[in-house]
Amino acid sequence: MGFPGAGGATGGDHRADRPGAGRYRQAGGAPDEAIVSRSIDNRIGAYVVAEALRLLAQDGPKHAAVFAVATTREEIAWTGGGARTSAVGIEPNVALVVDVTHATDWPGAEKKRAGEHKLGGGPVLSRGSAVSPVVFEMLAECAEREKIPYSVQAAPHDTGTDADAIYNALRGIPTGLVSVPNRYMHSPNEMVAREDLERAARLLAVFARRLDPKVSFIPV
């Protein structure tokens, strides 16, 4: 199993008093605990993966080995960059990609095009040509069983993430995409909700524990 997280650095201590990130309180406009920083896309994906590993270290899966990878060149090389080479090297039975997606909870957001994804609304699960329908359904079932709120994002062509480089590697790798809603992406003040990070990490851990030799990723 693989958890590729595009981005350069893993996330260590996520406290908001670290340089480059701060707690942000705004009545009606942001969650009680939001993290604001530049380059959250996609350093925060690496943090979510690291947090999932911490949870799995406490209560690991009985039937799966978990590999975590922080990759580079996602946005500058359509050949797949580090995600494809990692997928080929690890040869996972299933891969989960962690990234951010645009939050649409601000005036003027194109909800008809991008869907409705808000800070504090939980992780976003993508569904489309690069995403295995079996992995999507498993993620949704895990979220519902754990009472983790989530929203669904359509990705009919490509996802714009490392999922595009992984799902067709080797003979094909069943791939899922879990994203964190990010407001003001690609600005100096990107914003994510801390509770979404915790929920996304918990979803990854629950998914890993759900795996066993009987699970088939062949769509019925």
Which domains are delineated in the chain?
2-210 (3.40.630.10)
Give the pLDDT confidence score for residue 165 in this predicted structure.
93
Whether residue 160 contacts residue 130, with contact meaning beta carbons closer than 8 Å, is answered with: no
Q: What is the pLDDT of residues 125-142, one digit of tens each?
A: 999 999 999 999 999 999
Which residues are annotated as catalytic? 74
Identify the DSSP state of 64: -
Pick out the chain residues at pLDDT < 70.
Answer: 1-31, 77-79
CA pair distance 198, 174, nearest whole angstrom: 24
Q: What is the pLDDT of residues 8-41, one digit of tens each?
A: 333 334 444 444 444 444 434 566 789 999 999 9
Question: In this structure, what token pair is assigned to residue 198?
Answer: 């915790």
- 74 closest CA partner among 7, 2, 169: 7
Residue 215 three-state SS: coil
CA pair distance 129, 115, nearest whole angstrom: 17
